[in-house]
Amino acid sequence: MHRRTFIASALAAPVAAQLAAPAVAQQVVFDPTPQIVNIKKEFLPGQLLILPRSYYLYWVTEPRTAIRYGVGVGRAGLEFTGTATIDVKKEWPTWRPTDEMIERSPTTYGKFKDNDYVQPGGPSNPLGARALYLFQNGKDTYFRIHGTTEPDSIGKSVSNGCIRMLNEHVIDLYGRVPIGTVVTVL
């Protein structure tokens, strides 16, 4: 072996060892803070895209660009998927759980059983500061994009199917999103 070959081999060994070392997976940290991000070109400006498995909602602002918000989503079996439109928007909305919610969790929703009580809007209302109501073919899906009284639920699958946002984030989104906005939940 020539001296140059030996030196080159000796210098290359540590590099080869690093290249052969198993890759260490980098953990992506969930950040609910609204951020401008790149998005695939098939999503058009003025659309909302929700990726429940990553806990993000995207408001597409221009081709390939969106504002990303962190969200909380429905528990397994309770989540909405598909396409809808926002046909109603409300500030400090009233709320009543669905009959299915009352049946599933009678202890939690007992005050709503066998009556027509509707919780008034306000800081203690589960829909929070704003709600965007999702419709399909003119019919209410009973799914909402709304604020929350439980900020720790953002980034988790805990709701009865709705998309939750921090109140300050849903207030921001509410001001941007017009009636008729297309919402796609993958």
Predicted TM-score (pTM) of this structure: 0.81
Domain 72-177 has CATH 2.40.440: yes
Q: Give the model's pLDDT for residue 47.
A: 97
Burial per residue of 107-140, b for 16 or more beta-carbon CB atoms within 10 angstroms, e otherwise: eebeebeeeeeebebeeebbbbbbbbbbbeeeee
Q: Give the model's pLDDT for residue 109.
A: 85
Q: What residues are labeled active site?
A: 146, 162
Per-residue pLDDT of the chain (186 residues; tens, 9 = 90+): 554 444 444 444 444 444 344 555 666 789 999 999 999 888 999 999 999 999 999 999 999 999 999 999 987 656 778 999 999 999 999 988 888 888 888 898 888 888 999 999 999 999 999 999 999 999 999 899 999 999 999 999 987 778 999 999 999 999 999 999 999 998
Domain ranges, ordered by start, for the chain: 72-177
- Nearest partner of 86 among 50, 116, 39, judged by Cα: 50
Alpha-helix residue ranges (DSSP H) falling in the chain:
3-20, 99-104, 167-176
